[in-house]
Structure 1
Amino acid sequence: MVYLAGPGHGGPALVAAGYLEGTYSEVYPRVGQDERGLRQLFRQFSAPGGIPSHVSVTTPGSIHEGGELGYVLVHAFGAVMDNPDLIALAVVGDGEAETAPLEGSWKGISFLNPERDGAVLPILHLNGAKISGPTVLARKDPGEVRALLTGHGYEVIEVEGDDLPGMHHRFAAALAHAWGKIRAIQAAARGGEWDGSRPRWPLIILRTPKGWTGPESVDGVRVTGTWRSHQVPLSGVKGNEEHLRVLETWLRSYRPEELFDDDGAPTAIVRSANPDGALRMSANLHANGGLLTRDLDVPDFRDYAIAVSHPGAGRAESTRKLGELMRDLYRDNPDRFRLFCPDETNSNRLGAVFEASDRGFAERTDPDDVGISRNGRVMEVLSEHNCHGWLEGYTLTGRHGWFATYEAFAMVSASQTVQHAKWLEEAEKIPWRAKVPSLNILLTSTAWRNDHNGFSHQGPGLIQNVITQRGTVGRVYFPPDANCLLSVADHCLRSRSYLNLVVIDKQPQLQWLPIEQAIDHCARGAGVWSWAGTDDGSADPDIVLACAGDVVTMETVAAAAILREHLPHFRTRVVNVVDLMTLTRRKDHPHGMDETRFKELFTDHVDVVFAFHGYPGAVHQLVHGRPDADRFRVRGFIEEGTTTTPFDMVVRNRASRYHLVMDALNNARRTPPGASDLKAWCQQRLAEHETYVIEHLEDMPDIREWVLGDWADQG
Structure 2
Amino acid sequence: MNAPVFCEGIQHFGEKWLDFDTQAASPVIAAGQHGIADSSDSSAVYQTLLAADALRYLTLQVTGSKGSGHPGGYASSAEAHASLMMLGHTNIVTEVGHHAPGFYSSMFLDTSLEEMGIRTVADMMARFREKHGLLGHLSGAIPGLLAPAGPLGQGQHFAMAGALLHPGKLFPVTIGDGGMGEPYVLNSMMHFNTAYPEVTNFLPVLVWNGYSQEHHSMVSRMTNDEMVAYWKGHGFKNVVLVDAKEFDDTHQELPYVDSTQFSLGQRLAFTKAVLQGVDKASQSALNGTLTVFIIKQLKGAGVHTVGAKSHNLYPADTLDQPHIIAGLQRRALPPEAWQIVRDNLSRAGGGAAVKTVVTETELDIVAMPKLAMTEFKQGDKAVPATAMGALVAQMGKADPRYVVTNADGNEASAMKNINDALKVRHPTVDPLYNQEPNGQVYEPLNEDACAGLAAGLALFGSRSIWLSYESFAINGWPIIQTVTQAMAELRRKTPSIVCMFTAGALEQGRNGWTHQRPEIENFFAAMMRNGNVFPLFPCDANAMQVAYEYATDSVNKGMVIIASKSPLPVYMTLAESKQAMVNGAATIYESATGAGATVVFAVTGDMVLLPVFKAKDQLEAQGYRVRIVAAVNPRALYRPTDVAWDTVSQPDNGFMDDDHFNALFDGDALIAVSGGPSAPLEPVLLRTRAPKRDTFCWKRGETTASADEIMAFNGITAEAMTARVNALLK
Q: Give the direction of change, closer, same or farther, for the CA distance of 1:358–1:307 in structure 2 (3 Å limit).
A: closer
Output the amino acid matched with 1:333: D
* Distance (Å, rounded) in 2 between the aligned partners of 1:546 and 1:48: 39
Output the amino acid matched with 2:158: H
Tell me the residue number matched to 2:662.
Answer: 599
Tell me the residue number matched to 1:473.
Answer: 532
Pick from 151, 170, 180 the counterpart of residue 233 of structure 2: 151
Identity across matched positions, percent: 19
Tell me the residue number matched to 2:500.
Answer: 442
Pick from 373, 382, 388 the counterpart of residue 304 of structure 1: 373
* Distance (Å, rounded) in 1 between the aligned partners of 2:317 and 2:276: 40
Tell me the residue number matched to 1:710.
Answer: none
Matched, 1:371 2:434: yes
Q: Does the Cα contact within 8 Å between 1:623 and 1:629 map onto a contact in 2?
A: no
Q: Give the direction of change, closer, same or farther, for the CA distance of 1:519–1:625 in structure 2 (3 Å limit).
A: closer
Q: Give the direction of change, closer, same or farther, for the CA distance of 1:617–1:522 in structure 2 (3 Å limit).
A: closer
Q: Does the Cα contact within 8 Å between 1:408 and 1:446 map onto a contact in 2?
A: yes
State the shift of 1:239 in Å.
Answer: 6.1
* Distance (Å, rounded) in 1 between the aligned partners of 2:337 and 2:519: 52
Tell me: higher relative CO, structure 1 or 2? Use CA pairs within 8 A at least 6 residues apart.
2
Q: Give the direction of change, closer, same or farther, for the CA distance of 1:656–1:245 in structure 2 (3 Å limit).
A: closer
Q: Give the direction of change, closer, same or farther, for the CA distance of 1:503–1:518 in structure 2 (3 Å limit).
A: same
Matched, 1:626 2:687: yes
Q: Does the Cα contact within 8 Å between 2:408 and 2:443 map onto a contact in 1?
A: yes
Q: Give the direction of change, closer, same or farther, for the CA distance of 1:118–1:493 in structure 2 (3 Å limit).
A: farther
Tell me the residue number matched to 1:383.
Answer: 446
State the shift of 1:462 in Å.
Answer: 2.3
Classify the secondary structure of the residue corresponding to 2:476: helix
State the shift of 1:332 in Å.
Answer: 1.3
C-alpha RMSD over aligned residues: 2.6
Q: Does the Cα contact within 8 Å between 1:277 and 1:283 map onto a contact in 2?
A: no
Matches within 5 A, 1:530-609: 530=589, 532-534=590-592, 541-564=597-620, 566-567=621-622, 569-589=623-643, 590-603=653-666, 606-609=668-671
Classify the secondary structure of the residue corresponding to 2:93: strand
Unpaired runs of 5+ in structure 2? 1-88, 245-258, 260-265, 644-652
State the shift of 1:205 in Å.
Answer: 1.4
Tell me the residue number matched to 2:575.
Answer: 516
* Distance (Å, rounded) in 1 between the aligned partners of 2:290 and 2:614: 58
State the shift of 1:662 in Å.
Answer: 1.9
Matched, 1:395 2:463: no
Tell me the residue number matched to 1:178.
Answer: 281
CA offsets per residue over residues 459-478 of structure 1, 9 Å max, x none? 11222112222352111111
State the shift of 1:382 in Å.
Answer: 1.0
Matched, 1:461 2:461: no
Tell me the residue number matched to 2:411.
Answer: 346
* Distance (Å, rounded) in 2 between the aligned partners of 1:338 and 1:453: 29
Q: Does the Cα contact within 8 Å between 2:129 and 2:136 map onto a contact in 1?
A: yes
Count of equivalent residues: 610
Classify the secondary structure of the residue corresponding to 1:529: strand
Unpaired runs of 5+ in structure 1? 186-199, 216-222, 261-266, 428-432, 672-715
Tell me the residue number matched to 1:616.
Answer: 678
Pick from 323, 336, 347 the counterpart of residue 243 of structure 1: 323
Tell me the residue number matched to 2:104.
Answer: 15
Q: Does the Cα contact within 8 Å between 1:359 and 1:379 map onto a contact in 2?
A: yes
Q: Does the Cα contact within 8 Å between 1:585 and 1:625 map onto a contact in 2?
A: no
Point out the more displaced range, 4-13 or 516-525: 516-525
* Distance (Å, rounded) in 1 between the aligned partners of 2:636 and 2:345: 53
Matched, 1:287 2:349: no
Q: Give the direction of change, closer, same or farther, for the CA distance of 1:587–1:248 in structure 2 (3 Å limit).
A: closer
CA offsets per residue over residues 264-294 of structure 1, 9 Å max, x none? xxx25631453378654454442246x2253
Q: Does the Cα contact within 8 Å between 2:512 and 2:701 map onto a contact in 1?
A: no
Tell me the residue number matched to 1:191.
Answer: none
Matches within 5 A, 1:666-677: 666-668=727-729, 671=730
Classify the secondary structure of the residue corresponding to 2:544: helix
* Distance (Å, rounded) in 2 between the aligned partners of 1:419 and 1:395: 12
* Distance (Å, rounded) in 2 between the aligned partners of 1:341 and 1:460: 18
Tell me the residue number matched to 1:227.
Answer: 308
Matched, 1:208 2:297: yes
Tell me the residue number matched to 1:258.
Answer: 336
Q: Give the direction of change, closer, same or farther, for the CA distance of 1:110–1:570 in structure 2 (3 Å limit).
A: same
Q: Does the Cα contact within 8 Å between 2:452 and 2:480 map onto a contact in 1?
A: no
State the shift of 1:114 in Å.
Answer: 5.6
Q: Does the Cα contact within 8 Å between 1:79 and 1:390 map onto a contact in 2?
A: no
State the shift of 1:549 in Å.
Answer: 0.5
State the shift of 1:504 in Å.
Answer: 0.3
Pick from 253, 259, 272 the counterpart of residue 169 of structure 1: 272
Tell me the residue number matched to 2:552.
Answer: 493
Point out the more displaced range, 276-285 or 100-109: 276-285
Tell me the residue number matched to 1:409.
Answer: 472
* Distance (Å, rounded) in 2 between the aligned partners of 1:269 and 1:458: 56
Q: Does the Cα contact within 8 Å between 1:475 and 1:499 map onto a contact in 2?
A: yes
Tell me the residue number matched to 1:648.
Answer: 709
CA offsets per residue over residues 566-623 of structure 1, 9 Å max, x none? 33x32222222111223322322434321111111111x621012113212442x324
Classify the secondary structure of the residue corresponding to 1:319: helix
Q: Does the Cα contact within 8 Å between 2:354 and 2:360 map onto a contact in 1?
A: no
* Distance (Å, rounded) in 2 between the aligned partners of 1:440 and 1:244: 46
Q: Give the direction of change, closer, same or farther, for the CA distance of 1:304–1:210 in structure 2 (3 Å limit).
A: same
